[in-house]
Structures are given as C-alpha cells and as structure tokens.
Amino acid sequence: MNGEAIYEQLRDRFPDKVSETRGQGPLKCVYVKPEAIEEVLIALRDQETLGFRHLSFISGIDLKEAIEVAYGLISYSLKVLILLKVTLDHENPTVRTVSHIFSAANWHERETFDLFGVKFEGHPDLRRLLLPEDWKGHPLRKDYKEEPFYHEMPTTREPLLGRS
C-alpha cells in the first residue's frame, strides 16, 4: 500500500476532517482539521492493516500567513512514511497534544513550542527544550527578531574581517 492509498482510506473514514492530497514534489501530505488530529493519529496507530507505530518527527513550518505543524509517521508493516499537517493561526497557534498517543511526541512538541511558539494543549510538561527558559521569542518564526542583548551579553558581534 502506498501513501496515496492510505490517504484515500483516511478520507473515507474521516470524510470532512481530512483534506484532498496536497503538496508538490516527492512527498505529498493531507491536511487534517486541528481538532481531529488526535482521533486520526489513534486510527492510524491502532488499525491493524495500517500500524503506524512510529512517530518519526513533528515539525513546524512558518508560512508567514499561517503556521503549519507537520507529523511524519512510519508504518513498520507497510514500510511507508506519510505526512499529516494541521494549519494553525499565525498569531496564536494552538493544537491538542498527541503526546498521550505517541510518547515520542513529548519532546518533539516541546521543541516545536520552543522554536515556533506552537501551544500544545494538554501537554504534560510544555517547557522550552533547547533554548534557555528566559529566552524571548521563537527563533524559527520568519518574523523573529533577535534581542540585541541576553543577560547583558551581546548576541551579535563585529565581523572578524573588514566586511560590512
């Protein structure tokens, strides 16, 4: 079974919650309504014929007008990777956590919160992961501006060579 057949099955099962297959290039995806992400992931994990037991990654994507969160899942039995996405509001991106479905999501969600500011509702421990706790802003957002100082340490430096 290839990716398209799995997307087809998902659409049959959740007709108004899973979109048409979208995206260009070698990896296509489906968009899931943010409120339905939990039930879709549970269905993918628990249905015997699919068996998506491995959450490979969760990644944020800043499209300037919206923030997307991408979920990459691998099925050990079908040997295929699929990509699900949710589209979130740019100013206040919020989605339910999936860390109770795949515990691996715990750190992936913390990282996405840290770098994109996506709030995962119901996450047991939503703290910054990679950056210091008192860091301001979410650096992987396209509109991120670095503060000139962090604890009185300059965050920029003069160029080493005489370039401007």
Residues that bind another protein (CB under 8 A): 23-27, 29, 53-57, 59-62, 70, 72, 74, 76, 79-81, 83, 102-104, 106-107, 115, 125, 127-133, 139-140
The least CB distance from residue 141 to another protein, in Å, is 10
Residue type, 113: F
Q: Residue 37 or residue 126: which is nearer to another protein going by CB?
A: 126
Nearest to 114 by CA among 89, 159, 75, 144: 144
The least CB distance from residue 51 to another protein, in Å, is 10
The least CB distance from residue 81 to another protein, in Å, is 6
Q: Residue 12 or residue 68: which is nearer to another protein going by CB?
A: 68
Task: Judge whether 45 and 101 are in contact, CB under 8 Å.
Answer: yes
> E strands within the chain?
18-22, 29-32, 54-62, 66-75, 80-89, 94-96, 119-121, 149-150, 153-154
Q: Residue 23 or residue 92: which is nearer to another protein going by CB?
A: 23
Q: Residue 77 or residue 92: which is nearer to another protein going by CB?
A: 77
The least CB distance from residue 102 to another protein, in Å, is 6
Task: Judge whether 95 and 88 are in contact, CB under 8 Å.
Answer: yes
The least CB distance from residue 137 to another protein, in Å, is 12
Q: Residue 37 or residue 71: which is nearer to another protein going by CB?
A: 71
Q: Is 37 exposed, middle or buried (0-12, 13-18, 19+ CB in 10 A)?
A: buried
Residues 88, 153: Cα–Cα separation, whole Å: 34
